[in-house]
A = this chain, B = another copy of it.
Amino acid sequence: MVSSLFNDTLLVNTQSHDYPIIITQNSDMGAQIAPYIRGKQVLIVTNDTVAPLYLEPLQTTLSHDFDVAVCVLPDGEQYKNQDSINQIYDVLMTHHFNRDVTLVALGGGVVGDMTGFAAASFMRGVDFIQIPTTLLSQVDSSVGGKTGINHPKGKNMIGAFWQPRMVLADMSTLTTLPARELSAGLAEVIKYALIMDADFLTWLEEKLPAMMALDLAVLGEAVKRCCSYKAKVVAQDEREAGQRALLNFGHTFGHVIETHEGYGNWLHGEAVAAGMVQAAVLSEMLGWLNQSDVIRIKNVLAQANLPTTPPLIATETALGLMGHDKKVKRGQIRLILLKSLGEAVLTTEFATEQLRDVLTPATC
Protein backbone atom coordinates (compact mmCIF):
# COMPACT_ATOMS: atom_id res chain seq x y z
CA MET A 1 0.00 0.00 0.00
CA VAL A 2 1.36 3.40 -0.97
CA SER A 3 1.07 6.12 1.63
CA SER A 4 0.40 9.64 0.49
CA LEU A 5 2.44 12.19 2.45
CA PHE A 6 0.67 13.51 5.52
CA ASN A 7 1.75 16.83 7.00
CA ASP A 8 -0.42 18.94 9.25
CA THR A 9 -0.21 21.14 12.30
CA LEU A 10 -2.70 21.57 15.09
CA LEU A 11 -2.53 24.45 17.56
CA VAL A 12 -3.46 23.60 21.15
CA ASN A 13 -4.65 26.34 23.52
CA THR A 14 -3.89 25.97 27.21
CA GLN A 15 -4.08 28.26 30.22
CA SER A 16 -0.33 28.66 30.33
CA HIS A 17 0.51 28.90 26.61
CA ASP A 18 -0.40 27.67 23.13
CA TYR A 19 1.69 25.01 21.40
CA PRO A 20 1.67 23.18 18.07
CA ILE A 21 1.31 19.48 17.37
CA ILE A 22 3.16 18.84 14.13
CA ILE A 23 1.89 15.62 12.54
CA THR A 24 4.22 14.49 9.78
CA GLN A 25 6.29 11.59 8.47
CA ASN A 26 9.95 10.91 7.63
CA SER A 27 10.99 14.12 9.32
CA ASP A 28 14.37 15.34 10.49
CA MET A 29 13.30 15.37 14.14
CA GLY A 30 16.09 17.65 15.34
CA ALA A 31 15.35 20.26 12.69
CA GLN A 32 11.62 20.10 13.45
CA ILE A 33 11.96 20.74 17.18
CA ALA A 34 14.97 23.09 17.25
CA PRO A 35 12.89 26.27 16.69
CA TYR A 36 10.96 25.51 19.87
CA ILE A 37 14.00 25.17 22.14
CA ARG A 38 14.43 28.47 23.99
CA GLY A 39 17.78 27.92 25.72
CA LYS A 40 21.05 26.22 24.85
CA GLN A 41 20.66 23.11 27.03
CA VAL A 42 18.79 19.98 25.97
CA LEU A 43 18.23 16.72 27.79
CA ILE A 44 16.82 13.94 25.64
CA VAL A 45 15.00 11.33 27.74
CA THR A 46 14.28 8.04 26.01
CA ASN A 47 14.28 4.30 26.71
CA ASP A 48 16.47 1.39 25.67
CA THR A 49 14.00 0.22 23.02
CA VAL A 50 13.55 3.55 21.26
CA ALA A 51 17.14 4.79 21.63
CA PRO A 52 18.67 2.42 19.04
CA LEU A 53 15.99 3.41 16.53
CA TYR A 54 15.76 7.20 16.73
CA LEU A 55 18.21 8.69 19.21
CA GLU A 56 21.38 9.04 17.16
CA PRO A 57 20.11 11.28 14.31
CA LEU A 58 18.16 13.45 16.76
CA GLN A 59 21.13 13.85 19.07
CA THR A 60 23.50 14.59 16.17
CA THR A 61 21.31 17.30 14.68
CA LEU A 62 20.65 18.99 18.02
CA SER A 63 24.33 18.85 19.00
CA HIS A 64 25.14 21.36 16.24
CA ASP A 65 23.30 24.09 18.16
CA PHE A 66 22.80 22.89 21.70
CA ASP A 67 24.55 21.36 24.70
CA VAL A 68 22.87 17.94 24.55
CA ALA A 69 22.71 15.34 27.33
CA VAL A 70 20.91 12.01 27.15
CA CYS A 71 19.13 9.86 29.74
CA VAL A 72 18.22 6.36 28.57
CA LEU A 73 15.80 4.64 30.93
CA PRO A 74 14.76 0.99 30.90
CA ASP A 75 11.64 0.40 28.80
CA GLY A 76 8.39 -0.48 30.52
CA GLU A 77 5.50 0.76 32.65
CA GLN A 78 7.14 -0.91 35.69
CA TYR A 79 9.89 1.73 35.50
CA LYS A 80 7.43 4.62 35.55
CA ASN A 81 8.41 5.41 39.11
CA GLN A 82 10.31 7.75 41.38
CA ASP A 83 13.63 5.98 40.71
CA SER A 84 13.45 6.90 37.02
CA ILE A 85 12.57 10.49 37.88
CA ASN A 86 15.59 10.58 40.19
CA GLN A 87 17.79 9.34 37.33
CA ILE A 88 16.59 12.24 35.19
CA TYR A 89 17.26 14.72 38.02
CA ASP A 90 20.74 13.26 38.47
CA VAL A 91 21.65 13.74 34.80
CA LEU A 92 20.33 17.30 34.93
CA MET A 93 22.38 18.06 38.05
CA THR A 94 25.52 16.32 36.78
CA HIS A 95 25.42 18.47 33.64
CA HIS A 96 24.86 21.60 35.72
CA PHE A 97 21.72 22.26 33.68
CA ASN A 98 19.50 25.07 34.92
CA ARG A 99 16.14 26.70 34.28
CA ASP A 100 17.00 27.20 30.61
CA VAL A 101 17.05 23.49 29.88
CA THR A 102 14.52 21.87 27.55
CA LEU A 103 13.66 18.23 28.20
CA VAL A 104 12.82 16.22 25.08
CA ALA A 105 10.73 13.07 25.55
CA LEU A 106 11.55 10.58 22.80
CA GLY A 107 9.35 7.54 23.20
CA GLY A 108 5.89 6.38 24.21
CA GLY A 109 3.53 7.48 26.92
CA VAL A 110 5.69 6.27 29.79
CA VAL A 111 8.69 8.29 28.61
CA GLY A 112 6.43 11.27 27.94
CA ASP A 113 4.72 11.14 31.33
CA MET A 114 7.99 10.81 33.23
CA THR A 115 9.84 13.43 31.22
CA GLY A 116 6.92 15.80 31.62
CA PHE A 117 6.86 15.32 35.39
CA ALA A 118 10.62 15.76 35.62
CA ALA A 119 10.24 18.98 33.59
CA ALA A 120 7.37 20.14 35.82
CA SER A 121 9.37 19.57 38.99
CA PHE A 122 12.96 20.39 38.07
CA MET A 123 13.67 23.88 39.42
CA ARG A 124 9.89 24.29 39.74
CA GLY A 125 9.34 23.87 36.03
CA VAL A 126 11.33 23.88 32.79
CA ASP A 127 10.38 23.50 29.12
CA PHE A 128 9.70 20.16 27.54
CA ILE A 129 8.98 18.83 24.07
CA GLN A 130 7.27 15.57 23.20
CA ILE A 131 8.26 13.27 20.36
CA PRO A 132 5.73 10.48 20.84
CA THR A 133 6.78 7.29 19.03
CA THR A 134 3.71 5.16 19.72
CA LEU A 135 0.18 5.58 18.43
CA LEU A 136 -1.12 5.64 22.00
CA SER A 137 1.10 8.52 23.02
CA GLN A 138 0.46 10.36 19.76
CA VAL A 139 -3.29 10.43 20.35
CA ASP A 140 -3.37 10.40 24.12
CA SER A 141 -0.32 12.06 25.67
CA SER A 142 0.19 14.83 23.10
CA VAL A 143 -2.69 16.88 24.45
CA GLY A 144 -3.71 17.63 28.00
CA GLY A 145 -0.55 18.22 29.94
CA LYS A 146 -0.96 15.23 32.22
CA THR A 147 2.41 14.09 33.48
CA GLY A 148 3.35 11.72 36.25
CA ILE A 149 4.47 8.41 37.62
CA ASN A 150 2.94 5.44 39.40
CA HIS A 151 2.92 4.85 43.14
CA PRO A 152 3.40 1.23 44.29
CA LYS A 153 -0.24 1.37 45.41
CA GLY A 154 -1.77 3.11 42.39
CA LYS A 155 -1.26 4.23 38.82
CA ASN A 156 -0.51 7.86 37.99
CA MET A 157 -0.91 8.88 41.63
CA ILE A 158 2.04 11.29 41.54
CA GLY A 159 2.26 13.98 38.89
CA ALA A 160 1.48 17.45 37.64
CA PHE A 161 -0.31 19.28 34.88
CA TRP A 162 2.46 20.61 32.68
CA GLN A 163 2.15 21.62 29.04
CA PRO A 164 4.81 20.90 26.40
CA ARG A 165 6.30 23.62 24.18
CA MET A 166 5.50 21.52 21.11
CA VAL A 167 4.71 17.98 20.06
CA LEU A 168 6.23 16.24 17.04
CA ALA A 169 4.16 13.23 15.99
CA ASP A 170 6.11 11.55 13.20
CA MET A 171 3.93 8.78 11.79
CA SER A 172 6.98 6.96 10.44
CA THR A 173 7.83 5.90 13.98
CA LEU A 174 4.77 3.63 13.82
CA THR A 175 6.58 1.41 11.30
CA THR A 176 8.86 0.20 14.08
CA LEU A 177 6.05 -0.22 16.61
CA PRO A 178 5.12 -3.81 17.55
CA ALA A 179 1.68 -4.75 16.17
CA ARG A 180 0.39 -5.32 19.71
CA GLU A 181 1.24 -1.74 20.64
CA LEU A 182 -0.33 -0.35 17.49
CA SER A 183 -3.53 -2.12 18.54
CA ALA A 184 -3.23 -0.71 22.05
CA GLY A 185 -3.09 2.77 20.50
CA LEU A 186 -6.14 2.04 18.40
CA ALA A 187 -8.07 1.43 21.64
CA GLU A 188 -7.72 5.12 22.46
CA VAL A 189 -8.63 6.10 18.90
CA ILE A 190 -11.80 4.02 19.15
CA LYS A 191 -12.47 5.60 22.55
CA TYR A 192 -12.81 9.05 20.94
CA ALA A 193 -15.37 7.69 18.52
CA LEU A 194 -17.38 6.12 21.32
CA ILE A 195 -17.47 9.15 23.60
CA MET A 196 -17.58 12.01 21.09
CA ASP A 197 -18.50 11.16 17.49
CA ALA A 198 -20.54 8.25 16.16
CA ASP A 199 -19.59 9.29 12.58
CA PHE A 200 -15.93 8.78 13.48
CA LEU A 201 -16.88 5.25 14.58
CA THR A 202 -18.25 4.58 11.09
CA TRP A 203 -15.07 6.07 9.58
CA LEU A 204 -12.95 3.78 11.75
CA GLU A 205 -14.95 0.68 10.86
CA GLU A 206 -14.01 1.41 7.26
CA LYS A 207 -10.41 2.57 7.77
CA LEU A 208 -9.15 0.16 10.42
CA PRO A 209 -7.73 -2.32 7.86
CA ALA A 210 -5.66 0.46 6.27
CA MET A 211 -4.47 1.61 9.69
CA MET A 212 -3.49 -1.92 10.68
CA ALA A 213 -1.54 -2.10 7.39
CA LEU A 214 0.37 1.07 8.39
CA ASP A 215 -1.09 3.51 5.89
CA LEU A 216 0.62 6.52 7.47
CA ALA A 217 -1.70 9.05 5.83
CA VAL A 218 -4.78 7.39 7.29
CA LEU A 219 -3.05 7.03 10.66
CA GLY A 220 -2.04 10.69 10.50
CA GLU A 221 -5.63 11.68 9.81
CA ALA A 222 -6.82 9.60 12.77
CA VAL A 223 -4.17 11.11 15.08
CA LYS A 224 -5.17 14.59 13.99
CA ARG A 225 -8.86 13.92 14.64
CA CYS A 226 -8.17 12.46 18.09
CA CYS A 227 -5.88 15.34 19.07
CA SER A 228 -8.55 17.81 17.90
CA TYR A 229 -11.22 16.12 19.98
CA LYS A 230 -9.00 16.07 23.00
CA ALA A 231 -7.76 19.64 22.54
CA LYS A 232 -11.35 20.86 22.42
CA VAL A 233 -12.22 19.13 25.68
CA VAL A 234 -9.01 20.12 27.45
CA ALA A 235 -9.28 23.78 26.44
CA GLN A 236 -12.59 23.90 28.31
CA ASP A 237 -11.38 21.99 31.34
CA GLU A 238 -7.63 21.89 31.79
CA ARG A 239 -7.60 20.69 35.39
CA GLU A 240 -10.23 17.99 34.94
CA ALA A 241 -13.03 19.48 36.99
CA GLY A 242 -15.75 18.10 34.74
CA GLN A 243 -15.89 17.54 30.97
CA ARG A 244 -12.32 16.28 30.76
CA ALA A 245 -13.12 13.29 32.95
CA LEU A 246 -15.06 11.84 30.00
CA LEU A 247 -11.75 11.16 28.28
CA ASN A 248 -11.21 8.50 30.94
CA PHE A 249 -13.95 6.34 29.43
CA GLY A 250 -12.96 2.72 30.06
CA HIS A 251 -10.06 3.80 32.25
CA THR A 252 -11.55 3.20 35.69
CA PHE A 253 -12.26 -0.40 34.72
CA GLY A 254 -8.95 -0.51 32.86
CA HIS A 255 -6.97 0.72 35.88
CA VAL A 256 -8.37 -2.17 37.92
CA ILE A 257 -7.05 -4.58 35.30
CA GLU A 258 -3.64 -2.93 35.09
CA THR A 259 -3.22 -2.67 38.85
CA HIS A 260 -4.34 -6.24 39.47
CA GLU A 261 -2.28 -7.80 36.68
CA GLY A 262 0.80 -5.74 37.52
CA TYR A 263 1.80 -2.75 35.44
CA GLY A 264 3.09 -3.74 32.01
CA ASN A 265 1.53 -7.18 31.64
CA TRP A 266 -1.62 -5.84 30.10
CA LEU A 267 -0.85 -2.89 27.86
CA HIS A 268 -2.72 0.27 28.85
CA GLY A 269 -4.71 0.22 25.62
CA GLU A 270 -5.64 -3.42 26.07
CA ALA A 271 -6.91 -2.75 29.58
CA VAL A 272 -8.86 0.26 28.32
CA ALA A 273 -10.38 -1.84 25.52
CA ALA A 274 -11.67 -4.45 27.94
CA GLY A 275 -12.69 -1.65 30.31
CA MET A 276 -14.69 0.11 27.59
CA VAL A 277 -16.64 -3.10 27.00
CA GLN A 278 -17.37 -3.30 30.75
CA ALA A 279 -18.54 0.32 30.72
CA ALA A 280 -20.66 -0.38 27.66
CA VAL A 281 -22.27 -3.41 29.29
CA LEU A 282 -23.12 -1.30 32.35
CA SER A 283 -24.53 1.38 30.01
CA GLU A 284 -26.68 -1.31 28.42
CA MET A 285 -27.93 -2.41 31.86
CA LEU A 286 -29.13 1.16 32.38
CA GLY A 287 -30.96 1.05 29.05
CA TRP A 288 -28.72 3.70 27.48
CA LEU A 289 -27.17 1.38 24.88
CA ASN A 290 -28.87 -1.53 23.19
CA GLN A 291 -27.35 -4.92 22.65
CA SER A 292 -26.40 -4.21 19.05
CA ASP A 293 -24.42 -1.12 20.18
CA VAL A 294 -22.42 -3.29 22.57
CA ILE A 295 -21.80 -5.88 19.87
CA ARG A 296 -20.66 -3.12 17.50
CA ILE A 297 -18.21 -1.88 20.15
CA LYS A 298 -16.84 -5.38 20.70
CA ASN A 299 -16.51 -5.88 16.94
CA VAL A 300 -14.60 -2.69 16.26
CA LEU A 301 -12.22 -3.51 19.13
CA ALA A 302 -11.79 -7.05 17.79
CA GLN A 303 -11.10 -5.56 14.34
CA ALA A 304 -8.14 -3.81 15.98
CA ASN A 305 -6.99 -7.08 17.60
CA LEU A 306 -7.94 -5.87 21.07
CA PRO A 307 -9.26 -7.90 24.02
CA THR A 308 -12.96 -7.46 24.76
CA THR A 309 -13.06 -9.34 28.07
CA PRO A 310 -11.14 -8.56 31.26
CA PRO A 311 -8.89 -11.09 32.98
CA LEU A 312 -10.29 -13.03 35.94
CA ILE A 313 -10.44 -10.74 38.95
CA ALA A 314 -12.56 -11.50 42.02
CA THR A 315 -15.45 -9.05 42.26
CA GLU A 316 -14.56 -7.72 45.72
CA THR A 317 -10.93 -7.32 44.72
CA ALA A 318 -11.96 -5.26 41.71
CA LEU A 319 -14.30 -3.09 43.80
CA GLY A 320 -11.50 -2.54 46.32
CA LEU A 321 -9.08 -1.48 43.59
CA MET A 322 -11.65 0.99 42.28
CA GLY A 323 -11.60 2.73 45.66
CA HIS A 324 -8.17 4.14 44.81
CA ASP A 325 -9.23 5.61 41.52
CA LYS A 326 -9.17 9.38 41.06
CA LYS A 327 -12.76 9.29 39.82
CA VAL A 328 -13.92 8.51 43.35
CA LYS A 329 -15.70 11.56 44.77
CA ARG A 330 -16.32 11.48 48.50
CA GLY A 331 -16.49 7.73 48.66
CA GLN A 332 -19.09 7.37 45.90
CA ILE A 333 -17.72 5.70 42.75
CA ARG A 334 -18.44 7.77 39.65
CA LEU A 335 -18.08 6.18 36.25
CA ILE A 336 -18.03 7.36 32.69
CA LEU A 337 -20.76 5.57 30.77
CA LEU A 338 -22.33 5.97 27.35
CA LYS A 339 -25.74 7.66 27.00
CA SER A 340 -25.54 6.60 23.36
CA LEU A 341 -22.80 5.84 20.83
CA GLY A 342 -20.78 9.07 20.62
CA GLU A 343 -22.06 10.54 23.91
CA ALA A 344 -20.50 9.93 27.33
CA VAL A 345 -21.50 11.05 30.83
CA LEU A 346 -19.86 10.98 34.25
CA THR A 347 -22.48 9.41 36.44
CA THR A 348 -23.40 7.69 39.70
CA GLU A 349 -26.76 6.57 38.24
CA PHE A 350 -26.11 2.87 38.60
CA ALA A 351 -26.75 0.45 41.43
CA THR A 352 -23.70 -0.98 43.20
CA GLU A 353 -25.24 -4.36 42.42
CA GLN A 354 -25.07 -3.57 38.68
CA LEU A 355 -21.44 -2.51 38.97
CA ARG A 356 -20.76 -5.69 40.92
CA ASP A 357 -22.37 -7.72 38.12
CA VAL A 358 -20.18 -6.10 35.51
CA LEU A 359 -17.07 -6.73 37.61
CA THR A 360 -18.00 -10.35 38.17
CA PRO A 361 -15.93 -12.63 35.92
CA ALA A 362 -17.73 -13.93 32.82
CA THR A 363 -20.40 -11.20 32.76
CA CYS A 364 -18.85 -9.33 29.82
Contact = CB atoms under 8 A, between A and B. Distances in A.
Interface of A: 39-40, 82, 86, 89, 93-94, 96, 98-100, 117, 120-125, 146-148, 151, 153-154, 157-161, 239, 323-324, 326, 328-330
A119 to B, nearest CB: 11
A99 B159 CA distance: 12
Nearest to A118: B158
Contacts of A161: 124-125
A123 B82 contact: no
B99 A323 contact: no
Contacts of A96: 323-324
Contacts of A86: 82
Contacts of A98: 324, 326, 328-329
Nearest to A159: B124
Contacts of A157: 89, 93, 122-123
Contacts of A239: 125
A86 B86 CA distance: 13
Contact of A100 (B94, B159, B330): B330
A193 B117 CA distance: 37
A265 B109 CA distance: 42
Contact of A40 (B121, B159, B328, B330): B330
Contacts of A146: 124
Contacts of A39: 330
A160 B125 contact: yes
Given A96-B324, A98-B326, A323-B96, A89 B124 contact: no
Nearest to A161: B124
Given A40-B330, A98-B326, A89 B125 contact: no
9 contacts: A82-B82, A89-B158, A93-B151, A93-B324, A98-B329, A99-B326, A121-B159, A124-B161, A125-B160
A40 B329 CA distance: 10
Contacts of A147: 124
A26 B99 CA distance: 42
Contacts of A100: 329-330
Contacts of A154: 93
A37 to B, nearest CB: 13
A40 B98 CA distance: 40
A212 B239 CA distance: 45
